[in-house]
Amino acid sequence: MKIDHICFAVRNLYDGIAYWEKVFEYKQMTKIVENSLQKVKVTFLSKDDSLTIKLIEPLESNQSLVNFVNRGGGFHHLCFKCSDIDVKMDELTGEGLLTLVPPQPGEAFNNHNIAFLLAKYGLNIELIDTDEKAGML
């Protein structure tokens, strides 16, 4: 497994993008994509020789994430890319991680499966097994 991106939850994607561009010199690398199953809007940001950043904005129906961003938002999850999401899910749940969201299509990844697990210390983990990002600019 390797880290694919770090995700931050924001109240407004346009404000979040502008902040990351101005303060950290990141550039938007994808269009904004709506993930209907995860109930968020998503965009990815990049910077040479640095990790990819994903920003998410909750849809109205995602009340827990709306509450989180209304309290200031911030770090949401680490995403790890693996070679086989089903095998890695079995390994990680065998190590005691809890499944939050079983594998399901993620629109931000051209409908390749994504999954979420909860690790120790409250660490929210996303798993993917693709390099694809929807809406590349």
Mean pLDDT by 10 residues, the chain (137 residues): 97 98 98 94 98 97 96 97 97 97 95 96 96 92
What is the secondary structure of 75-127 as a DSSP string? EEEEEEE-S-HHHHHHHHHHTTPEEEEEEEEEGGGTTEEEEEEEEGGGEEEEE
**59 burial via Cβ count (<10 Å: 0-12, 13-18, 19+):** middle
Question: Which overall architecture, per CATH, does domain 2-128 show?
Answer: Roll (3.10)
The per-residue pLDDT for 75 is 97
The per-residue pLDDT for 38 is 92
The H or E element spanning position 1 is none
The per-residue pLDDT for 49 is 97
The H or E element spanning position 50 is none
Reduced to 3 states (helix: H, G, I; strand: E, B; else coil), residue 46 is strand
The per-residue pLDDT for 29 is 97
Spatial neighbors of 86 by CB under 8 A, at least 6 apart, are 103
Residue with tokens 């809007």: 41
The per-residue pLDDT for 112 is 95
Structural domain boundaries in the chain: 2-128
**12 burial via Cβ count (<10 Å: 0-12, 13-18, 19+):** middle
